[in-house]
Amino acid sequence: MRAMIAVRRAGLIRAWPQVRCFSAFTQHKVGEPGTLEYRMHFQDNNGNKISPWHDIPLKSGEHFNCLIEIPKNTKPKMEVAVKEEMNPIAQDVKKGKLRDYHGPIFWNYGMLPQTWEDPNVTHAETKCNGDNDPVDVVEIGSEALAQGSVEPVKVLGALAMIDDGELDWKIIGIRAGDKLAAELNDIQDVEAKCPGVISGIREWFRWYKTPDGKPLNAFGYEEKALDKKFALEVIEETHGAWKKLRDGSTDKGKLWIGK
């Protein structure tokens, strides 16, 4: 049976049968892309604003919801603005200037809603604290996915990237509706069916900041791509951290959590 494909029509994410996907929202853009004013906001079907970080569920059936922030083969560094009200998608800014990658990213890049890498917790293996953001997803499918779309993904593995001394997990996954999804069930399948993809992801993220004079990023666990079981444990842990953030058990700092 073919996996359901989520499609975007007039800003509405709809689902066709066989893979359930979160569909109860529309997108609303403010400002022009490539400007400091640009924001992509989200609304439910009743017109109420929602946070893509807090209000979109983590899972769609057996798969995980991935909010696409950066479509493959693009350069603007877009992200869910975790410190802004309702957490719209915006372009990252440094010293008043919009940030672009120096070269295009070769995969769709997004985040898992309802996850959080707690900067107050030191990871036992890497000895690094979390980066204060939702967990990132590198989606390795064949199609460029629209910014702001929510795609059910199969989790395949993870890389423990260390960026400026902070732990910044990269979950490796594939859209459930991709033509290769049925053949990829764990990280070893990626190496077998898509040789070079894992090393490509690792090296892209190792080097991408160096044109700005930044040092190379490092990776924990001897730089190995960790398997699906491990990746699911990372997601479970960071979902638990998000729950504590939302219920006030953890100091939110400057984050916008809607409470």
| Catalytic residue ranges | 101
In sequence order, what are the residues at sequence separation of 6 or more whose Cβ sits closer than 8 angstroms to the Cβ of residue 23?
Answer: 6, 12, 13, 14, 15, 150
Q: Pull the structure tokens for residue 55.
A: 């209000």
